[in-house]
Structure 1
Amino acid sequence: MTTVFGVTGATGLLGGRVAERLAAEGAEQRLLVRDPARAPDLPGAQVARVEGYDDAAGMRAALTGVDTLFLVSGREAPDRVAQHVAAVDAAVEVGVSRIVYVSFLGAAPDATFTFGRDHWDTEQHILATGVRSTFVRDSFYHLMFPRLVGDDGVIRGPAGDGRVASVAHDDVADAATAVLLDEIPEIDALPAYDLTGPEAISMAEAAAQLSRVSGRSIVYVPETIEEAYASREGFGAPEFEVDGWVTSYTAIASGDLEVVSSAVKRLTGHAAQTFAEWLSDNPDAWARLRDLPR
Protein backbone atom coordinates (compact mmCIF):
# COMPACT_ATOMS: atom_id res chain seq x y z
CA MET A 1 0.00 0.00 0.00
CA THR A 2 1.32 3.43 -0.96
CA THR A 3 1.93 5.83 1.93
CA VAL A 4 0.59 9.33 1.40
CA PHE A 5 2.55 12.03 3.22
CA GLY A 6 1.07 15.32 4.33
CA VAL A 7 3.70 18.07 4.49
CA THR A 8 3.06 21.39 6.20
CA GLY A 9 5.25 24.44 5.73
CA ALA A 10 6.04 23.37 2.16
CA THR A 11 6.72 26.98 1.15
CA GLY A 12 9.23 27.37 3.98
CA LEU A 13 12.90 26.60 4.49
CA LEU A 14 12.39 23.22 6.15
CA GLY A 15 9.06 21.93 4.83
CA GLY A 16 10.08 22.82 1.28
CA ARG A 17 13.31 20.89 1.59
CA VAL A 18 11.51 17.85 3.00
CA ALA A 19 8.93 17.97 0.20
CA GLU A 20 11.71 18.03 -2.40
CA ARG A 21 13.42 15.05 -0.81
CA LEU A 22 10.20 13.04 -0.63
CA ALA A 23 9.52 13.82 -4.29
CA ALA A 24 13.02 12.66 -5.22
CA GLU A 25 12.19 9.33 -3.55
CA GLY A 26 9.01 9.00 -5.58
CA ALA A 27 6.72 9.53 -2.59
CA GLU A 28 3.10 10.59 -2.92
CA GLN A 29 2.44 13.69 -0.87
CA ARG A 30 -0.02 16.47 -0.19
CA LEU A 31 1.41 19.92 0.46
CA LEU A 32 -0.59 21.98 2.96
CA VAL A 33 -0.07 25.68 2.22
CA ARG A 34 -1.78 29.02 2.71
CA ASP A 35 -0.93 30.23 -0.80
CA PRO A 36 -1.01 27.53 -3.51
CA ALA A 37 0.74 29.88 -5.94
CA ARG A 38 3.88 29.62 -3.80
CA ALA A 39 3.81 25.82 -3.47
CA PRO A 40 6.69 23.97 -5.12
CA ASP A 41 5.82 22.10 -8.32
CA LEU A 42 6.90 18.56 -7.49
CA PRO A 43 6.12 15.19 -9.05
CA GLY A 44 3.67 13.13 -7.02
CA ALA A 45 2.55 16.14 -5.01
CA GLN A 46 -0.95 17.52 -4.66
CA VAL A 47 -1.50 20.98 -3.18
CA ALA A 48 -4.15 21.69 -0.54
CA ARG A 49 -4.97 25.20 0.64
CA VAL A 50 -5.59 25.78 4.34
CA GLU A 51 -5.97 29.08 6.17
CA GLY A 52 -3.84 27.90 9.09
CA TYR A 53 -3.52 25.12 11.63
CA ASP A 54 -6.64 26.35 13.40
CA ASP A 55 -8.67 26.06 10.16
CA ALA A 56 -10.25 22.83 11.38
CA ALA A 57 -12.44 22.18 8.33
CA GLY A 58 -9.62 23.02 5.94
CA MET A 59 -7.16 20.82 7.80
CA ARG A 60 -9.57 17.88 7.88
CA ALA A 61 -10.21 18.18 4.15
CA ALA A 62 -6.52 18.51 3.34
CA LEU A 63 -5.52 15.54 5.51
CA THR A 64 -8.22 13.12 4.43
CA GLY A 65 -6.40 10.18 2.88
CA VAL A 66 -3.03 11.14 4.37
CA ASP A 67 -1.20 8.41 6.27
CA THR A 68 1.79 10.28 7.74
CA LEU A 69 1.80 13.98 8.65
CA PHE A 70 5.01 16.01 8.75
CA LEU A 71 4.02 18.82 11.10
CA VAL A 72 6.35 21.80 11.03
CA SER A 73 5.82 23.93 14.12
CA GLY A 74 3.88 27.11 13.46
CA ARG A 75 5.02 30.69 13.78
CA GLU A 76 5.51 31.98 17.30
CA ALA A 77 2.20 33.29 18.62
CA PRO A 78 0.39 33.53 21.96
CA ASP A 79 -1.93 30.72 20.86
CA ARG A 80 0.74 28.64 19.14
CA VAL A 81 0.07 25.51 21.21
CA ALA A 82 -3.66 25.80 20.54
CA GLN A 83 -2.93 25.98 16.82
CA HIS A 84 -0.76 22.87 17.02
CA VAL A 85 -3.44 21.07 19.02
CA ALA A 86 -6.05 21.96 16.39
CA ALA A 87 -3.85 20.57 13.60
CA VAL A 88 -3.15 17.36 15.52
CA ASP A 89 -6.81 16.85 16.38
CA ALA A 90 -7.84 17.37 12.76
CA ALA A 91 -5.27 14.78 11.68
CA VAL A 92 -6.49 12.24 14.21
CA GLU A 93 -10.13 12.82 13.29
CA VAL A 94 -9.56 11.89 9.64
CA GLY A 95 -7.42 8.85 10.39
CA VAL A 96 -3.81 10.01 10.01
CA SER A 97 -1.84 7.15 11.52
CA ARG A 98 1.51 8.83 12.17
CA ILE A 99 2.76 12.31 13.03
CA VAL A 100 6.37 13.46 12.71
CA TYR A 101 6.59 16.77 14.55
CA VAL A 102 9.36 19.36 14.33
CA SER A 103 10.07 20.18 17.96
CA PHE A 104 13.06 21.84 19.60
CA LEU A 105 16.20 20.69 21.38
CA GLY A 106 15.61 20.52 25.11
CA ALA A 107 11.83 20.87 24.88
CA ALA A 108 10.56 20.82 28.46
CA PRO A 109 7.84 22.40 30.61
CA ASP A 110 10.48 24.61 32.23
CA ALA A 111 12.79 25.15 29.25
CA THR A 112 14.86 28.32 29.49
CA PHE A 113 13.95 29.16 25.91
CA THR A 114 10.31 30.05 26.36
CA PHE A 115 9.24 28.76 22.96
CA GLY A 116 10.72 25.39 23.92
CA ARG A 117 7.85 25.07 26.39
CA ASP A 118 5.37 25.33 23.49
CA HIS A 119 7.09 22.39 21.84
CA TRP A 120 6.87 20.34 25.03
CA ASP A 121 3.15 21.00 25.34
CA THR A 122 2.63 20.04 21.71
CA GLU A 123 4.61 16.82 22.14
CA GLN A 124 2.52 15.88 25.16
CA HIS A 125 -0.72 16.42 23.24
CA ILE A 126 0.49 14.29 20.35
CA LEU A 127 1.49 11.51 22.74
CA ALA A 128 -1.91 11.67 24.42
CA THR A 129 -3.67 10.93 21.12
CA GLY A 130 -2.04 7.51 20.94
CA VAL A 131 -1.09 8.03 17.29
CA ARG A 132 2.35 6.74 16.32
CA SER A 133 4.70 9.70 16.55
CA THR A 134 8.30 10.80 16.22
CA PHE A 135 9.74 14.13 17.33
CA VAL A 136 12.70 15.72 15.56
CA ARG A 137 14.11 18.22 18.04
CA ASP A 138 16.41 20.53 16.14
CA SER A 139 18.81 23.03 17.60
CA PHE A 140 18.95 26.63 16.42
CA TYR A 141 19.77 26.80 12.73
CA HIS A 142 23.12 28.02 11.39
CA LEU A 143 21.09 30.70 9.60
CA MET A 144 20.38 32.28 12.98
CA PHE A 145 23.88 33.72 13.35
CA PRO A 146 24.03 36.02 10.29
CA ARG A 147 20.46 37.15 11.00
CA LEU A 148 21.45 38.27 14.50
CA VAL A 149 24.07 40.69 13.18
CA GLY A 150 22.94 44.31 13.41
CA ASP A 151 23.64 46.97 10.82
CA ASP A 152 26.62 48.02 12.93
CA GLY A 153 28.18 44.55 12.66
CA VAL A 154 27.37 43.64 16.25
CA ILE A 155 25.54 40.65 17.72
CA ARG A 156 24.10 41.69 21.08
CA GLY A 157 22.52 39.41 23.63
CA PRO A 158 22.84 37.74 27.04
CA ALA A 159 24.46 34.51 25.82
CA GLY A 160 27.63 35.01 27.85
CA ASP A 161 30.27 32.44 26.96
CA GLY A 162 27.67 29.75 26.34
CA ARG A 163 27.80 27.49 23.32
CA VAL A 164 25.23 26.18 20.87
CA ALA A 165 25.44 23.20 18.50
CA SER A 166 23.59 24.91 15.65
CA VAL A 167 22.50 22.84 12.66
CA ALA A 168 21.86 23.26 8.93
CA HIS A 169 18.36 23.18 7.48
CA ASP A 170 19.58 20.62 4.93
CA ASP A 171 20.77 18.26 7.65
CA VAL A 172 17.46 18.49 9.51
CA ALA A 173 15.60 17.88 6.24
CA ASP A 174 17.75 14.85 5.43
CA ALA A 175 17.21 13.41 8.90
CA ALA A 176 13.47 14.12 8.90
CA THR A 177 13.10 12.48 5.49
CA ALA A 178 14.83 9.35 6.74
CA VAL A 179 12.42 9.28 9.68
CA LEU A 180 9.39 9.79 7.44
CA LEU A 181 10.45 7.02 5.08
CA ASP A 182 11.23 4.65 7.97
CA GLU A 183 14.80 4.30 6.72
CA ILE A 184 16.15 3.87 10.24
CA PRO A 185 17.97 0.77 11.45
CA GLU A 186 16.02 -0.84 14.27
CA ILE A 187 18.84 -0.16 16.71
CA ASP A 188 18.48 3.59 16.03
CA ALA A 189 14.67 3.74 16.05
CA LEU A 190 13.69 6.20 18.78
CA PRO A 191 10.61 8.26 19.66
CA ALA A 192 12.64 11.48 19.44
CA TYR A 193 15.90 12.67 17.91
CA ASP A 194 18.06 15.63 18.90
CA LEU A 195 19.31 17.15 15.63
CA THR A 196 22.41 19.29 16.06
CA GLY A 197 25.57 20.24 14.30
CA PRO A 198 28.83 18.38 15.04
CA GLU A 199 30.24 21.04 17.37
CA ALA A 200 29.07 23.65 19.85
CA ILE A 201 30.31 27.19 19.24
CA SER A 202 30.04 30.43 21.16
CA MET A 203 28.60 33.68 19.88
CA ALA A 204 32.11 35.15 19.77
CA GLU A 205 33.32 32.23 17.65
CA ALA A 206 30.34 32.58 15.31
CA ALA A 207 31.07 36.29 14.94
CA ALA A 208 34.71 35.55 14.13
CA GLN A 209 33.70 33.10 11.40
CA LEU A 210 31.25 35.63 9.95
CA SER A 211 34.07 38.20 9.93
CA ARG A 212 36.32 35.76 8.10
CA VAL A 213 33.93 35.05 5.24
CA SER A 214 32.48 38.56 4.87
CA GLY A 215 35.66 40.57 5.22
CA ARG A 216 33.85 42.84 7.68
CA SER A 217 34.29 43.30 11.41
CA ILE A 218 31.58 41.25 13.13
CA VAL A 219 31.72 41.12 16.92
CA TYR A 220 29.65 39.75 19.77
CA VAL A 221 28.86 42.13 22.63
CA PRO A 222 27.37 40.39 25.70
CA GLU A 223 24.40 42.04 27.37
CA THR A 224 22.86 41.54 30.76
CA ILE A 225 19.28 40.30 30.76
CA GLU A 226 18.13 43.77 31.78
CA GLU A 227 20.09 45.37 28.94
CA ALA A 228 18.68 42.84 26.49
CA TYR A 229 15.09 43.70 27.34
CA ALA A 230 15.83 47.43 27.29
CA SER A 231 17.57 47.27 23.90
CA ARG A 232 14.54 45.53 22.37
CA GLU A 233 11.89 47.85 23.76
CA GLY A 234 11.90 49.98 20.62
CA PHE A 235 10.81 47.17 18.32
CA GLY A 236 7.22 47.33 19.55
CA ALA A 237 6.99 43.55 19.70
CA PRO A 238 4.57 41.83 22.10
CA GLU A 239 5.91 40.60 25.42
CA PHE A 240 5.81 36.89 24.51
CA GLU A 241 7.94 37.54 21.44
CA VAL A 242 10.52 39.63 23.28
CA ASP A 243 10.72 36.90 25.92
CA GLY A 244 11.49 34.42 23.15
CA TRP A 245 14.18 36.64 21.68
CA VAL A 246 15.92 37.18 25.01
CA THR A 247 15.65 33.59 26.21
CA SER A 248 17.12 32.30 22.96
CA TYR A 249 20.33 33.85 24.28
CA THR A 250 19.91 32.85 27.91
CA ALA A 251 19.29 29.24 26.85
CA ILE A 252 22.73 29.34 25.25
CA ALA A 253 24.25 30.96 28.33
CA SER A 254 22.76 28.28 30.59
CA GLY A 255 24.27 25.45 28.53
CA ASP A 256 20.88 24.08 27.44
CA LEU A 257 21.92 24.06 23.77
CA GLU A 258 25.50 22.84 24.13
CA VAL A 259 24.35 19.26 23.44
CA VAL A 260 26.08 17.67 20.45
CA SER A 261 24.15 14.75 19.02
CA SER A 262 25.22 12.14 16.47
CA ALA A 263 21.63 11.67 15.26
CA VAL A 264 22.10 13.39 11.90
CA LYS A 265 24.90 11.02 10.97
CA ARG A 266 23.06 7.97 12.33
CA LEU A 267 19.92 8.81 10.39
CA THR A 268 21.45 10.00 7.14
CA GLY A 269 24.84 8.31 6.86
CA HIS A 270 26.64 11.65 6.48
CA ALA A 271 28.12 14.02 9.03
CA ALA A 272 26.26 17.18 9.93
CA GLN A 273 27.71 20.39 8.54
CA THR A 274 29.81 22.62 10.75
CA PHE A 275 28.97 26.31 10.79
CA ALA A 276 32.11 27.02 8.76
CA GLU A 277 31.11 24.48 6.11
CA TRP A 278 27.60 25.92 5.97
CA LEU A 279 28.97 29.44 5.48
CA SER A 280 31.07 28.21 2.55
CA ASP A 281 28.11 26.47 0.91
CA ASN A 282 25.54 29.23 1.52
CA PRO A 283 27.06 32.63 0.65
CA ASP A 284 23.65 34.12 -0.14
CA ALA A 285 22.63 33.59 3.49
CA TRP A 286 25.19 36.10 4.75
CA ALA A 287 25.74 38.24 1.63
CA ARG A 288 24.30 41.38 3.26
CA LEU A 289 27.20 41.38 5.72
CA ARG A 290 29.56 42.38 2.89
CA ASP A 291 27.84 45.77 2.82
CA LEU A 292 28.49 46.52 6.48
CA PRO A 293 31.20 49.03 7.48
CA ARG A 294 34.71 47.62 7.72
Structure 2
Amino acid sequence: MTIAITGATGNIGGAVARALAAASTPVRLLVRDASRAPDLPGAEVAVASFADAGASRAALEGVDLLLMVSGAEARDRLDQHRTFVAAAADAGVGHVVYTSFVGAAPDATFTLGRDHWATERAIEESGAAHTFLRDSFYLDFVEDLVGEDGVIRGPAGVGAMAAVARADVARVATEVLLHPEEHRDRTYELTGPEAITLAQAAATVSEVRGRAVTYHPESVEEAYASRARWNPEPWQADAWVSTYTAIAEGALAHVSTDVERVTRRRPLSLREVLQAG
Protein backbone atom coordinates (compact mmCIF):
# COMPACT_ATOMS: atom_id res chain seq x y z
CA MET A 1 0.00 0.00 0.00
CA THR A 2 1.32 3.42 -0.99
CA ILE A 3 0.69 6.14 1.60
CA ALA A 4 0.87 9.86 0.85
CA ILE A 5 0.92 12.69 3.38
CA THR A 6 0.24 16.38 2.83
CA GLY A 7 1.50 19.06 5.20
CA ALA A 8 4.70 17.15 5.93
CA THR A 9 6.52 20.42 6.63
CA GLY A 10 3.97 21.29 9.32
CA ASN A 11 3.32 20.07 12.83
CA ILE A 12 0.79 17.28 12.35
CA GLY A 13 1.84 16.07 8.91
CA GLY A 14 5.49 16.16 9.94
CA ALA A 15 4.85 14.22 13.14
CA VAL A 16 2.91 11.56 11.26
CA ALA A 17 5.61 11.28 8.60
CA ARG A 18 8.29 10.80 11.24
CA ALA A 19 6.20 8.21 13.08
CA LEU A 20 5.64 6.20 9.92
CA ALA A 21 9.32 6.39 9.03
CA ALA A 22 10.16 5.12 12.53
CA ALA A 23 7.77 2.22 11.88
CA SER A 24 9.64 1.46 8.62
CA THR A 25 6.58 2.41 6.57
CA PRO A 26 7.48 4.13 3.29
CA VAL A 27 5.57 7.31 2.50
CA ARG A 28 5.24 9.88 -0.25
CA LEU A 29 5.45 13.44 1.06
CA LEU A 30 3.43 16.02 -0.87
CA VAL A 31 4.94 19.46 -0.31
CA ARG A 32 4.91 22.82 -2.03
CA ASP A 33 8.67 23.32 -1.61
CA ALA A 34 10.87 20.24 -1.95
CA SER A 35 13.74 21.96 -0.14
CA ARG A 36 11.67 22.06 3.05
CA ALA A 37 10.63 18.41 2.99
CA PRO A 38 11.90 16.38 5.95
CA ASP A 39 14.68 13.94 5.14
CA LEU A 40 13.22 10.63 6.25
CA PRO A 41 14.24 7.05 5.47
CA GLY A 42 11.97 5.38 2.94
CA ALA A 43 10.24 8.64 1.99
CA GLU A 44 9.86 10.06 -1.51
CA VAL A 45 8.96 13.67 -2.19
CA ALA A 46 6.43 15.03 -4.68
CA VAL A 47 5.74 18.72 -5.27
CA ALA A 48 2.15 19.89 -5.48
CA SER A 49 -0.25 22.42 -3.97
CA PHE A 50 -3.92 21.86 -3.29
CA ALA A 51 -4.88 24.43 -5.89
CA ASP A 52 -2.83 22.83 -8.70
CA ALA A 53 -4.99 20.02 -10.05
CA GLY A 54 -2.46 18.73 -12.56
CA ALA A 55 0.47 18.60 -10.15
CA SER A 56 -1.70 17.05 -7.46
CA ARG A 57 -2.97 14.33 -9.77
CA ALA A 58 0.56 13.49 -10.87
CA ALA A 59 1.82 13.47 -7.27
CA LEU A 60 -0.97 11.11 -6.22
CA GLU A 61 -0.60 8.57 -9.01
CA GLY A 62 -0.35 5.11 -7.49
CA VAL A 63 -1.36 6.28 -4.00
CA ASP A 64 -3.78 4.02 -2.12
CA LEU A 65 -4.08 5.88 1.18
CA LEU A 66 -3.86 9.66 1.67
CA LEU A 67 -3.56 11.80 4.78
CA MET A 68 -5.00 15.16 3.76
CA VAL A 69 -4.07 17.71 6.39
CA SER A 70 -6.37 20.69 5.92
CA GLY A 71 -4.77 23.63 4.19
CA ALA A 72 -3.75 26.94 5.71
CA GLU A 73 -6.60 29.33 6.44
CA ALA A 74 -7.44 31.31 3.33
CA ARG A 75 -10.47 32.87 1.70
CA ASP A 76 -10.37 30.22 -1.05
CA ARG A 77 -9.37 27.24 1.10
CA LEU A 78 -12.56 25.32 0.30
CA ASP A 79 -11.96 25.74 -3.43
CA GLN A 80 -8.40 24.47 -2.93
CA HIS A 81 -9.68 21.48 -0.98
CA ARG A 82 -12.25 20.60 -3.64
CA THR A 83 -9.64 20.83 -6.38
CA PHE A 84 -7.31 18.53 -4.47
CA VAL A 85 -10.03 16.00 -3.63
CA ALA A 86 -11.02 15.84 -7.29
CA ALA A 87 -7.38 15.31 -8.25
CA ALA A 88 -7.12 12.48 -5.70
CA ALA A 89 -10.20 10.84 -7.19
CA ASP A 90 -8.79 11.20 -10.72
CA ALA A 91 -5.55 9.59 -9.54
CA GLY A 92 -7.46 6.64 -8.07
CA VAL A 93 -6.78 7.24 -4.37
CA GLY A 94 -8.94 4.73 -2.53
CA HIS A 95 -9.00 6.08 1.04
CA VAL A 96 -8.68 9.66 2.30
CA VAL A 97 -7.94 10.49 5.93
CA TYR A 98 -8.87 14.13 6.49
CA THR A 99 -8.18 16.44 9.45
CA SER A 100 -11.54 18.13 9.90
CA PHE A 101 -13.12 20.07 12.77
CA VAL A 102 -15.15 18.84 15.70
CA GLY A 103 -17.95 21.29 15.00
CA ALA A 104 -18.08 20.70 11.24
CA ALA A 105 -21.56 21.55 9.94
CA PRO A 106 -23.07 23.73 7.20
CA ASP A 107 -24.17 26.22 9.84
CA ALA A 108 -21.26 25.89 12.30
CA THR A 109 -20.79 28.94 14.50
CA PHE A 110 -17.03 28.69 13.95
CA THR A 111 -17.11 29.83 10.35
CA LEU A 112 -14.20 27.68 9.17
CA GLY A 113 -16.06 24.63 10.43
CA ARG A 114 -18.40 25.10 7.48
CA ASP A 115 -15.50 24.65 5.06
CA HIS A 116 -14.51 21.44 6.83
CA TRP A 117 -18.06 20.11 6.50
CA ALA A 118 -18.09 20.89 2.78
CA THR A 119 -14.69 19.20 2.35
CA GLU A 120 -16.01 16.08 4.07
CA ARG A 121 -18.92 16.02 1.63
CA ALA A 122 -16.55 16.40 -1.33
CA ILE A 123 -14.52 13.42 -0.14
CA GLU A 124 -17.61 11.28 0.34
CA GLU A 125 -18.95 12.26 -3.07
CA SER A 126 -15.60 11.41 -4.70
CA GLY A 127 -16.27 7.73 -4.06
CA ALA A 128 -13.20 7.20 -1.88
CA ALA A 129 -13.36 5.56 1.50
CA HIS A 130 -12.82 8.08 4.28
CA THR A 131 -11.72 8.59 7.85
CA PHE A 132 -12.56 12.01 9.24
CA LEU A 133 -10.50 13.22 12.19
CA ARG A 134 -12.64 15.99 13.66
CA ASP A 135 -10.14 17.89 15.78
CA SER A 136 -11.15 20.34 18.47
CA PHE A 137 -9.18 23.58 18.81
CA TYR A 138 -5.52 22.88 19.55
CA LEU A 139 -4.21 23.10 23.09
CA ASP A 140 -0.90 24.16 21.55
CA PHE A 141 -2.48 27.47 20.48
CA VAL A 142 -3.90 28.43 23.87
CA GLU A 143 -0.77 30.28 24.92
CA ASP A 144 -0.82 32.18 21.62
CA LEU A 145 -4.15 33.70 22.64
CA VAL A 146 -2.42 35.62 25.43
CA GLY A 147 -1.81 39.24 24.50
CA GLU A 148 1.33 41.22 25.29
CA ASP A 149 -0.43 42.49 28.40
CA GLY A 150 -1.01 38.95 29.69
CA VAL A 151 -4.72 38.94 28.89
CA ILE A 152 -6.79 36.55 26.79
CA ARG A 153 -9.60 38.57 25.22
CA GLY A 154 -12.61 37.21 23.39
CA PRO A 155 -16.38 36.74 23.47
CA ALA A 156 -16.28 33.21 24.90
CA GLY A 157 -18.29 34.04 28.01
CA VAL A 158 -18.05 31.18 30.48
CA GLY A 159 -18.11 28.51 27.77
CA ALA A 160 -15.69 25.61 27.83
CA MET A 161 -13.69 23.82 25.15
CA ALA A 162 -12.28 20.30 25.11
CA ALA A 163 -9.20 21.35 23.13
CA VAL A 164 -6.80 18.64 21.93
CA ALA A 165 -3.01 18.44 21.62
CA ARG A 166 -1.61 18.31 18.10
CA ALA A 167 0.55 15.39 19.24
CA ASP A 168 -2.60 13.38 20.00
CA VAL A 169 -4.07 14.17 16.59
CA ALA A 170 -0.84 12.99 14.98
CA ARG A 171 -0.88 9.78 17.01
CA VAL A 172 -4.46 9.05 15.95
CA ALA A 173 -3.64 9.75 12.30
CA THR A 174 -0.62 7.45 12.48
CA GLU A 175 -2.70 4.60 13.87
CA VAL A 176 -5.31 5.08 11.17
CA LEU A 177 -2.69 5.02 8.42
CA LEU A 178 -1.05 1.89 9.83
CA HIS A 179 -4.37 0.04 10.17
CA PRO A 180 -6.70 1.68 7.63
CA GLU A 181 -9.27 -1.09 7.31
CA GLU A 182 -10.06 -0.83 11.02
CA HIS A 183 -10.97 2.84 10.53
CA ARG A 184 -12.58 2.78 7.11
CA ASP A 185 -15.57 5.15 6.77
CA ARG A 186 -15.32 6.25 10.39
CA THR A 187 -15.53 9.70 11.93
CA TYR A 188 -13.62 10.43 15.13
CA GLU A 189 -14.03 13.38 17.46
CA LEU A 190 -10.60 14.24 18.81
CA THR A 191 -10.61 16.16 22.09
CA GLY A 192 -8.48 16.57 25.17
CA PRO A 193 -9.26 14.90 28.50
CA GLU A 194 -11.41 17.74 29.85
CA ALA A 195 -13.38 20.81 28.89
CA ILE A 196 -11.86 24.04 30.22
CA THR A 197 -12.98 27.65 30.19
CA LEU A 198 -10.64 30.39 29.02
CA ALA A 199 -10.42 31.57 32.63
CA GLN A 200 -9.19 28.10 33.63
CA ALA A 201 -6.82 28.05 30.66
CA ALA A 202 -5.41 31.44 31.68
CA ALA A 203 -4.90 30.20 35.24
CA THR A 204 -3.02 27.12 34.01
CA VAL A 205 -0.77 29.17 31.72
CA SER A 206 -0.13 31.57 34.60
CA GLU A 207 0.83 28.76 36.96
CA VAL A 208 3.05 26.84 34.54
CA ARG A 209 4.80 29.89 33.11
CA GLY A 210 5.05 31.78 36.39
CA ARG A 211 3.51 35.00 35.05
CA ALA A 212 0.17 36.69 35.47
CA VAL A 213 -2.30 35.65 32.78
CA THR A 214 -6.03 36.44 32.95
CA TYR A 215 -9.12 36.17 30.78
CA HIS A 216 -11.29 39.16 29.85
CA PRO A 217 -14.65 38.30 28.23
CA GLU A 218 -15.41 40.75 25.42
CA SER A 219 -18.69 41.42 23.71
CA VAL A 220 -18.85 40.47 20.03
CA GLU A 221 -18.68 44.16 19.09
CA GLU A 222 -15.61 44.66 21.28
CA ALA A 223 -13.96 41.62 19.72
CA TYR A 224 -14.29 42.93 16.18
CA ALA A 225 -13.10 46.37 17.30
CA SER A 226 -10.05 45.06 19.18
CA ARG A 227 -8.93 43.04 16.15
CA ALA A 228 -9.45 45.82 13.62
CA ARG A 229 -5.89 47.07 14.19
CA TRP A 230 -4.62 44.08 12.18
CA ASN A 231 -6.88 45.10 9.28
CA PRO A 232 -8.12 41.56 8.59
CA GLU A 233 -10.24 40.65 5.62
CA PRO A 234 -13.89 40.12 6.64
CA TRP A 235 -13.68 36.32 6.39
CA GLN A 236 -10.62 36.32 8.66
CA ALA A 237 -12.21 38.62 11.24
CA ASP A 238 -15.29 36.39 11.28
CA ALA A 239 -13.12 33.31 11.81
CA TRP A 240 -11.19 34.92 14.66
CA VAL A 241 -14.29 36.11 16.50
CA SER A 242 -16.29 32.94 15.91
CA THR A 243 -13.49 30.96 17.55
CA TYR A 244 -14.72 32.45 20.80
CA THR A 245 -18.45 32.52 20.10
CA ALA A 246 -18.34 28.80 19.32
CA ILE A 247 -16.85 28.26 22.77
CA ALA A 248 -19.48 30.50 24.33
CA GLU A 249 -22.38 28.51 22.90
CA GLY A 250 -20.98 25.22 24.19
CA ALA A 251 -20.33 23.68 20.77
CA LEU A 252 -16.84 22.57 21.83
CA ALA A 253 -17.50 21.40 25.37
CA HIS A 254 -18.10 17.71 24.66
CA VAL A 255 -15.26 15.44 25.80
CA SER A 256 -14.74 12.42 23.53
CA THR A 257 -12.89 9.18 24.29
CA ASP A 258 -11.86 8.65 20.66
CA VAL A 259 -8.20 9.61 21.14
CA GLU A 260 -7.75 6.96 23.82
CA ARG A 261 -9.88 4.44 21.93
CA VAL A 262 -7.66 4.67 18.84
CA THR A 263 -4.23 5.19 20.44
CA ARG A 264 -4.77 3.39 23.76
CA ARG A 265 -3.26 6.46 25.44
CA ARG A 266 -4.94 9.13 27.52
CA PRO A 267 -4.93 12.46 25.67
CA LEU A 268 -2.66 15.23 26.91
CA SER A 269 -3.95 18.06 29.08
CA LEU A 270 -3.14 21.75 28.67
CA ARG A 271 -0.74 21.54 31.61
CA GLU A 272 1.14 18.67 29.99
CA VAL A 273 1.35 20.46 26.64
CA LEU A 274 2.74 23.58 28.29
CA GLN A 275 5.24 21.61 30.38
CA ALA A 276 6.47 19.80 27.27
CA GLY A 277 6.85 23.01 25.27
Secondary structure of 2:11 counterpart: coil
* 8 Å contact kept, 1:135–1:193: yes
Q: Are 1:250 and 2:245 an aligned pair?
A: yes
Q: Are 1:262 and 2:260 an aligned pair?
A: no
Q: Partner letter of residue 156 of structure 2?
A: A
Secondary structure of 1:232 counterpart: helix
* 8 Å contact kept, 2:131–2:184: no
Q: Are 1:205 and 2:196 an aligned pair?
A: no
Query: TM-score, normalization: structure 2?
Result: 0.97
Runs of 4+ in 1 over 2 A off after TM superposition: none
1:162 matched to which residue of 2?
Answer: 159
Q: What's the CA shift for 1:183?
A: 6.4
Q: Partner letter of residue 188 of structure 2?
A: Y
Q: Deviations over 1:164-190 (max 9, x none)?
A: 011111110011111112268x5x766
Q: Deviations over 1:147-166 (max 9, x none)?
A: 01111111100001000011
Secondary structure of 1:167 counterpart: coil
Secondary structure of 1:96 counterpart: coil
Q: 1:120 aligns with which of 99, 117, 120?
A: 117
Q: Partner letter of residue 35 of structure 1?
A: D
Q: Deviations over 1:122-153 (max 9, x none)?
A: 00111111111110000011112100111111
Q: What's the CA shift for 1:276?
A: 1.1
Query: TM-score, normalization: structure 1?
Result: 0.92
Q: 1:151 aligns with which of 127, 148, 161?
A: 148
- Following superposition of structure 1 onto structure 2, how do residues 3-18 of structure 1 map, counting pairs within 5 Å? 3-18=1-16
- Following superposition of structure 1 onto structure 2, how do residues 61-72 of structure 1 map, counting pairs within 5 Å? 61-72=58-69
Identity of paired residues, percent? Answer: 54
* 8 Å contact kept, 1:4–1:27: no
Q: Partner letter of residue 40 of structure 2?
A: L
Q: 1:241 aligns with which of 227, 236, 245?
A: 236
Matched length: 277
Q: Partner letter of residue 179 of structure 2?
A: D
Structure 1: gaps of 5 or more residues: 283-294
The separation in 1 between residues aligned to 2:7 and 2:123, in whole angstroms, is 18
2:44 matched to which residue of 1?
Answer: 46
Which has the larger displacement, 209-218 or 112-121?
209-218
Secondary structure of 1:192 counterpart: strand
CA distance change for structure 1 residues 183 and 72 in 2, over 3 Å: closer, same or farther? Answer: closer
- Following superposition of structure 1 onto structure 2, how do residues 126-141 of structure 1 map, counting pairs within 5 Å? 126-141=123-138
The separation in 1 between residues aligned to 2:93 and 2:118, in whole angstroms, is 20
Q: Partner letter of residue 260 of structure 2?
A: K
Secondary structure of 1:193 counterpart: strand
The separation in 1 between residues aligned to 2:129 and 2:102, in whole angstroms, is 20
